[in-house]
Amino acid sequence: MKILHTSDWHLGRSLYGRKRYDEFMSFLDWLAECIESEHVDALLVAGDIFDNSTPGNRAQELYYRFLCRVAASSCRHVIVIAGNHDSPSFLNAPKELLRALNVYVVGSITDNPEDEVITLIGPANEPEAIVCAVPYLRDRDIRTVEAGESVEDKNVRMIESVQKHYTHVCKIAEEKQKECGDIPIVGMGHLFTAGGKTIEGDGVRELYVGSLAHVGEDVFPACMDYLALGHLHIPQKVGETEHIRYSGSPMAMGYGEAGQEKKVVLVEFNTGTPEIRELPVPCFQPLERISGGIDDITERIHELKSRGSSAWLEIECTGTEIAGVMRELVDEAIADTAMEVRRIKNRHVYERVMGRTCDDETLDDLDVHDVFLRCLDSYDLPDIDRPALIQSYKEIIASLHEDDMNAE
């Protein structure tokens, strides 16, 4: 049996206002072709299918068109779990209809953990694998809040709750395995593991308040023959394990990921240890970050131009050129090419007025936490009062991210 593991598509994501639907379409076409050429039996999508909880019509169209195409291929099963960017109720809404296409959707945990245990049936009507499809575990769903608990207490309870949930789900899977015979147990999850690698600009959100609730590999029961994880965008193993992996995002979500090789993971079960291969994903839209003086920038643009590049550019000028002049020179350099400038920033101006909003600085340069810190600065808040306010603010932001806007 062959299983393909992917995650973190973030359908609908834009880059500095530029829509990326052509990229998403190219990736999904490639993925469908890969499933057919590799004769994949089951596709696992480990969360963050969409970039936000209210995806637009175009993003939805890409998703459902892909599922229909895969259902008509050699792939017999598709299992989709929600990530922290997804709306559980939005993903769950068509789940009964999608079952007709052998697509299983788990948007959130329920009162019955058995809903997360899926037995995959082979062509001869025999069980061939058991999937523990654990979605993103929201704090409010699995942890009981106690008055007066510290951040450290919250993190400890959070990790304990995650471990307890996986233990419960895997126990059900082991009971089913006894009934079905010696078939593999495959886990899924969307979370942040201890030691996980991230990169600047990848858009990976802090999942739990304090960012300390990163689970270790010991949290996951040993019965799982493979664990397909989502959330981190860099393809990687967890710790020293071979069978616990992040497939990573299939596209660069920001310029910090430019040039990074993207992958999906192919897992083949025959007998004994599964055979695991990483398949490189083609780059459908190159991103290029250029930093330096105006001469360095124009020289690099001319190099790209000579190669017929169609890259989207992020430019950081380290010189003292006026923004308008710099933009004019860059636009002239990329004229008659397929390249686009998505962002220009001037480091000299930014450093000169650090801490103040200026013509060169936009909200793209700040995240929600930066904005709050600027607010504290503007009120000259004493350092002794900051930690408690910052912690409360983080709790509010985490709560907003976990709200399911589509729920009734």
Q: Does 287-402 match 2-281 at the fold level?
A: no
pLDDT at position 191, please?
92
Could you tell me which residues are beta bridge partners of residue 291? 316
Q: Lowest-confidence range among 74-83, 298-307, 314-323, 357-366?
A: 357-366
Q: Where are the domains of the chain?
A: 2-281, 287-402
Which of 154-158, 161-165, 383-387 has the highest mean predicted lDDT (pLDDT)?
161-165
Does domain 287-402 match CATH 3.30.160.720?
Answer: yes
Six-digit token pair at 24? 């998403």
User: Rounded to the nearest 5 degrees, what angle is found at the Cα of 313, between the Cα atoms of 308 and 318?
Assistant: 120
pLDDT at position 115, please?
95
Task: Look at residue 221 and tell me whether its pLDDT is greater than 60.
Answer: yes
Task: Look at residue 209 and tell me whether its pLDDT is greater than 50.
Answer: no
Residue labelled with tokens 């643009």: 301
In this structure, how many other beta carbons lie within 10 angstroms of the beta carbon of residue 218? 10
Task: Look at residue 54 and tell me whether its pLDDT is greater than 70.
Answer: yes
Q: Lowest-confidence range among 77-81, 163-167, 212-216?
A: 212-216
Under the banding of pLDDT at 50, 70 and 90, the label for residue 242 is very high
Under the banding of pLDDT at 50, 70 and 90, the label for residue 393 is confident
What is the model's pTM? 0.84
- At the fourth CATH level, which superfamily is domain 2-281? Metallo-dependent phosphatases (3.60.21.10)
Six-digit token pair at 198? 């991230």
Under the banding of pLDDT at 50, 70 and 90, the label for residue 399 is low
Q: H helices within 144-224, ranges in order?
A: 151-180
Q: Which helix (H) or strand (E) holds 187?
A: strand 185-190
Residue labelled with tokens 């609908």: 12
Task: Look at residue 320 and tell me whether its pLDDT is greater than 90.
Answer: no
Q: Tell which residue, 168, 182, 190, 191, has the closest CA to residue 225.
A: 182
Q: Lowest-confidence range among 36-40, 219-223, 373-377?
A: 373-377
What is the β-pairing status of strands 103-106 and 18-19?
A: unpaired
Tell which wins on pLDDT, 103 or 376: 103
Task: Look at residue 177 and tell me whether its pLDDT is greater than 70.
Answer: yes
Please state the rounded mean pLDDT for residues 116-139. Answer: 94
Please state the rounded mean pLDDT for residues 331-336. Answer: 90
Percentage of the residues of the chain whose pLDDT score is greater than 70: 85
Six-digit token pair at 190? 């969307």
pLDDT at position 405, please?
60
